Structure 1
Amino acid sequence: MKYPIGIQDFVKLRQGGFAYVDKTKFVYKLADEGSYYFLSRPRRFGKSLFLSTLEAYFLGRKELFEGLAIYDMEKEWKSHPIFYIDLNTANFRDENSLYEVLNSHVSVWEEMYGAREYETTLALRFKGVIARAAEKEGRGVVILIDEYDKPILQTLRNQELQEKHRSLLKSFYSVLKTQDRYIRFAFITGVTKFGKVSVFSDLNNLMDISMDQRYISICGMTQDELLYNFREGIEQLGEAYGDTEEETLNKLKIRYDGYHFEENTVGIYNPFSVLNTLAKLRYKDYWFETGTPTFLVDLLKMHNYRLPDITREKVSGDVINSIDSMSTNPIPVIYQSGYLTIKGYDERFKKYRLGFPNKEVEEGFLNFLLPLYTSAGNNSPFMVDEFVQDVESGNPERFMQRMKAFFADTSYQVVGNAELYFQNAMYLVFKIMGFYTQVERPTSDGRIDAIIQTPDYIYIIECKLDRTADEALRQINDSDYAAPFAMDKRRIYKIGVNFSSQTRGVEQWIIE
């Protein structure tokens, strides 16, 4: 079986005999029922391939669709002039970068359909070539725009340039509405959707299908699609690990499934990770390894976000479905980027509950954050191994010595708000340890406590900031945190810890 890893061109995929999860029923439905669409999905989810599929369809390439759902649905197979804009690969941190990219596209179209001297701006030139293309070909133009938001996301740190990009995109995209009579179809994709002062504010005829239940599986793959298209690969993966088909599917589900783009909808697998796993017969964090979400960390730090809240967020549909660049809430960007997904819905208050979609994202995101939140955390995977070995061997003293060393070199720049810093850093440490042991954090408000369980030991940890370790231990005993384990035969350790904002580290601890 040939897996289409990294292939975003529908023609290449079909002519090369690669496996293909048939999404052409969506192509027909979109083309048959409307004209202007917007779709937000995380990176590497198949947006570019879907645009390429639309391009082949609107070019009338019937032969490429033989055996697919749309082949017998479409009867006419007409060819349309295509205007395809890919903003995915350019660097938009330079002053004139966006203008140069758009100008390049428009110049190519002008060579095909002519230009006018009075068309002096990009918007006027775009408007002109749309009209001339439709008149010359005798059919409406199809406009496909991939990763429309890349210029905005790449300039989060440069508000002045971002506003310049936004203004240019807004005028450029507004042409889609003014030239409606010449346009047969338009489809715009991106990772995020920006609201309020939006690049689409003049394009109020654009249908957003990002959270539309009819199109939930337009990108990615469902479990039924996984089984139907890749049973051979699933069997080979099972053989490589000595697992049954059921065990293999369970591993794939835990690691790569779990995306929900609306409440009460089927779970979606990350296609990039699944294809890589089946091709290489190894479970790894393929999706996370392909990109470093530095702009997400910038947002978290910029807004002093409290990391323990990240899986407790409850937000409205308006919040997660439209990003305001002036907002102090980083959660919508993190959700739309694919690091959080919908876990539930409160019908009474109309709020979505968010959480990590799967193990790959949770592990990858937290491991990526740890060295960025702690100057001592650059070797975090190695240090976490040692933390786990300490607790599994029943050595709380060595665990605490390691914890003290972990925070010893923390700089003032890293700490910032000391209480928030220690909460975030300890959350990451305990959360990552939880991938290898059982870690619970029963309370949160101002405290950084945890219960760590191994087959032989139970550790109850209470942390204070600028207080005393004795006070922390007293709280464990006074609140009887050990009561749930009264009948447990495992050895229980109670650890009171005090952090110092002055020394920026672990000041003292008491083990009982």
Structure 2
Amino acid sequence: MEDLQRLYPIGIQTFSKIREGNYLYIDKTEYVYRMTHSASGYMFLSRPRRFGKSLLTSTLHSYFSGRKELFRGLAMEKLEKEWVEYPVLHFDMSTAKHADKEQLLQELNLKLFGYEQIYGRLDEEVNPNQRLMGLIKRAYEQTGKKVVVLIDEYDAPLLDVAHEPKILDVLRNIMRNFYSPLKACDPYLRYVFLTGITKFSQLSIFSELNNLENISMDEPYAAICGISEDEIHSQMKEDVDELAKKLEVTSEGALMKLKENYDGYHFTYPSPDMYNPFSLLTAMEKGKIGSYWFGSGTPTYLIKMLDKYGVEPSEIGRKMAAVEDFDAPTERMTSILPLLYQSGYITIKDFDKELDLYALDIPNKEVRIGLMKSLLPHYVGSKAPETTTMVAYLSRDIRNGDMDAALHRLQTFLSTIPQCDNTKYEGHYQQIFYIIFSLLGYYVDVEVRTPRGRVDMVLRTKTTLYVMELKLDKDADMAMEQIDLKNYPERFALCGLPIVKVAVNFDSERCTIGGWKILNA
């Protein structure tokens, strides 16, 4: 690595700024060439937030603006023989988040006004769709070149109101009106590209734009956003070595930590392993592993939708589903799956060709822990500092193999939580345990099937597998009898770890653990 400190483009989404500022750029220009030379001139790409969609859109902007000098040393330099400058209309809709009807119209007015200063406007053009159509036609006439339209985060104005049908309808109609000229202006258009997080149906947003090709799950574009394992090895080897020094581990150890925390995304199958670029680059810059992507945005709409669909924390991952069930238009959702998938909280892990079903799960440790931290306040009130401290100490108890101390700590903690309506059923405590044990970074599962019934909870650490039976207003002896009667440990005999039986009784009056029993299997 050079003596000069490596610059990482954290939060920089402008291609020209990255290239002119000598920031690290993972070369995606081969994909840009493929996109712009395919049969389709209208494309849509869905990826989670902070996954590089805006940078990709900016790269397209620079390419269509004929800025050859920015692509020196990249794949595009060898691929493109004819550099043509086209008029580009680039709309970033992320500035229209949290907007009501009037604010959204004002945002569109501002965006259109900027280009009207270049290409002019007719008095007759009043509504956003009329003004966009006028812009496209005049840009074509004045330059003699077909027009490129780039719309980044097209769904940003709609995301926050996805759970409010009446407001969603109003804002969706405004956006549909704005996008409507794209089909009618086809003779004047060279290329149209839209990005977003969610997949609102073509009918509801893009009106008659039925020639829009959705490349989100196309295998040739699987690695178009994010950073692949190959790209880390080929373009970031020195960065990994530098991080390893700061973490005081080997380069292989640093790679393992990066993989555990930020890898695991797949947007089709088969697909290379994709890393979250925001988290990966932030870890490189700060020299430590942290929860960067999840910490960069509170998923309030996600929490509301989980409530709406009655989804428990333990139900978020490990699902088998047909593609139409999770890559469905957001406003036609019959389950939380499409929102979880499109937002990046679950991803594709495997594919069963025979059944045509995808295995979906939480991508990595960062997302799992971030999700559970967001959900925990809903179960234990807003005792954030106390909760964080308790989880830290609990982690040490479990790491030391001291389940007795861990349950003592949980008993004390739960007894400080204000009583609430939903503490009168066993499932409430099961979910609290699931969230807290997930925060420790261990494998945890609920309602695990065995030949003779279901185990309430299984917790697997590096040294021990805990088989746990939970009861409400009974006693720990009764819970232990059930474990023995149904011989739950037998199901896990081949796991290669010592098995410990844990029986726990919850006291609904005191809203905490009443008693417990721990025995080796």
TM-score, length-scaled by structure 2: 0.89
- Counterpart-to-counterpart distance in 1, 2:321 and 2:462: 35
Shift of 1:196: 7.0
Q: Deviations over 1:442-478 (max 9, x none)?
A: 62798633346575x7654211245544432220121
Letter of the 1:480 counterpart: N
The answer to whether the 8 Å contact 2:365/2:441 transfers is no
Letter of the 1:495 counterpart: A
Aligned position for 1:64: 70
Q: Among the aligned pairs, what percent are the same residue?
A: 37
| 2:432 matches 1:425 | yes
- Counterpart-to-counterpart distance in 2, 1:306 and 1:373: 11
Aligned position for 2:28: 23
| 2:470 matches 1:463 | yes
Aligned position for 1:479: 486
- Counterpart-to-counterpart distance in 1, 2:416 and 2:429: 14
Shift of 1:198: 2.7
Shift of 1:76: 2.2
Q: Deviations over 1:53-81 (max 9, x none)?
A: 11111111111111111123222211111
Aligned position for 2:3: none
CA gap of 1:418–1:111, structure 2 versus 1, over 3 A, is farther
Shift of 1:42: 1.2
Aligned residue among 437, 450, 458 for 1:450: 458
**110-119 vs 262-271, which deviates more?**
110-119
**177-186 vs 414-423, which deviates more?**
414-423
- Counterpart-to-counterpart distance in 2, 1:141 and 1:488: 63
Q: Deviations over 1:339-385 (max 9, x none)?
A: 11101112222111111212222222222222233216523331122
- Counterpart-to-counterpart distance in 2, 1:489 and 1:136: 73
**333-342 vs 375-384, which deviates more?**
375-384
Shift of 1:197: 5.6
Alignment of 1:332-343 (within 5 A): 332-343=338-349
| 2:213 matches 1:207 | yes
Letter of the 2:411 counterpart: K
Shift of 1:176: 0.6
Shift of 1:149: 0.9
Shift of 1:424: 2.4
The answer to whether the 8 Å contact 1:374/1:414 transfers is no
Letter of the 1:407 counterpart: L
- Counterpart-to-counterpart distance in 1, 2:366 and 2:113: 43
| 2:131 matches 1:98 | no
Q: Which runs of 4+ in 1 moved over 6 A?
A: 444-447, 485-491
**87-96 vs 329-338, which deviates more?**
87-96
Aligned position for 2:392: 385
Aligned position for 1:249: 255
- Counterpart-to-counterpart distance in 1, 2:162 and 2:285: 36
Aligned residue among 12, 24, 28 for 1:7: 12
CA gap of 1:479–1:205, structure 2 versus 1, over 3 A, is same
Shift of 1:319: 2.3
Aligned position for 2:117: 111
Aligned position for 1:309: 315
The answer to whether the 8 Å contact 1:273/1:285 transfers is yes
| 2:183 matches 1:165 | no
- Counterpart-to-counterpart distance in 2, 1:110 and 1:174: 18
The answer to whether the 8 Å contact 1:197/1:324 transfers is no
Alignment of 1:130-209 (within 5 A): 130-195=136-201, 198-209=204-215
CA gap of 1:488–1:193, structure 2 versus 1, over 3 A, is closer
* Aligned positions, number: 508
Shift of 1:212: 0.6
- Counterpart-to-counterpart distance in 2, 1:491 and 1:292: 38
Q: Deviations over 1:417-440 (max 9, x none)?
A: 9455333222212322353xx656
Alignment of 1:290-309 (within 5 A): 290-309=296-315
CA gap of 1:328–1:489, structure 2 versus 1, over 3 A, is closer
TM-score, length-scaled by structure 1: 0.90
CA gap of 1:204–1:373, structure 2 versus 1, over 3 A, is farther
The answer to whether the 8 Å contact 1:37/1:186 transfers is yes
RMSD: 2.8
The answer to whether the 8 Å contact 1:375/1:409 transfers is no
- Counterpart-to-counterpart distance in 2, 1:241 and 1:401: 33
User: Match of 2:140, SS?
Assistant: helix
Aligned position for 1:239: 245
**198-207 vs 144-153, which deviates more?**
198-207
- Counterpart-to-counterpart distance in 2, 1:25 and 1:71: 10
Shift of 1:135: 1.1
**91-100 vs 260-269, which deviates more?**
91-100
CA gap of 1:449–1:204, structure 2 versus 1, over 3 A, is same
User: Match of 1:495, SS?
Assistant: strand
CA gap of 1:117–1:498, structure 2 versus 1, over 3 A, is same
User: Match of 1:165, SS?
Assistant: helix
- Counterpart-to-counterpart distance in 2, 1:71 and 1:95: 44
**133-142 vs 476-485, which deviates more?**
476-485
Shift of 1:40: 0.7
User: Match of 1:443, SS?
Assistant: strand
User: Match of 2:227, SS?
Assistant: coil
Which 5+ residue runs of structure 2 have no aligned equivalent? 1-5
Letter of the 2:186 counterpart: D
Letter of the 1:433 counterpart: L
CA gap of 1:30–1:443, structure 2 versus 1, over 3 A, is same
| 2:504 matches 1:496 | yes
The answer to whether the 8 Å contact 1:82/1:142 transfers is yes
CA gap of 1:490–1:376, structure 2 versus 1, over 3 A, is farther
User: Match of 2:90, SS?
Assistant: strand
User: Match of 1:88, SS?
Assistant: helix
Q: Deviations over 1:250-301 (max 9, x none)?
A: 2222222111111121111111122122222212122222111121111111
The answer to whether the 8 Å contact 1:233/1:279 transfers is no
Shift of 1:181: 0.7
Which 5+ residue runs of structure 1 have no aligned equivalent? none
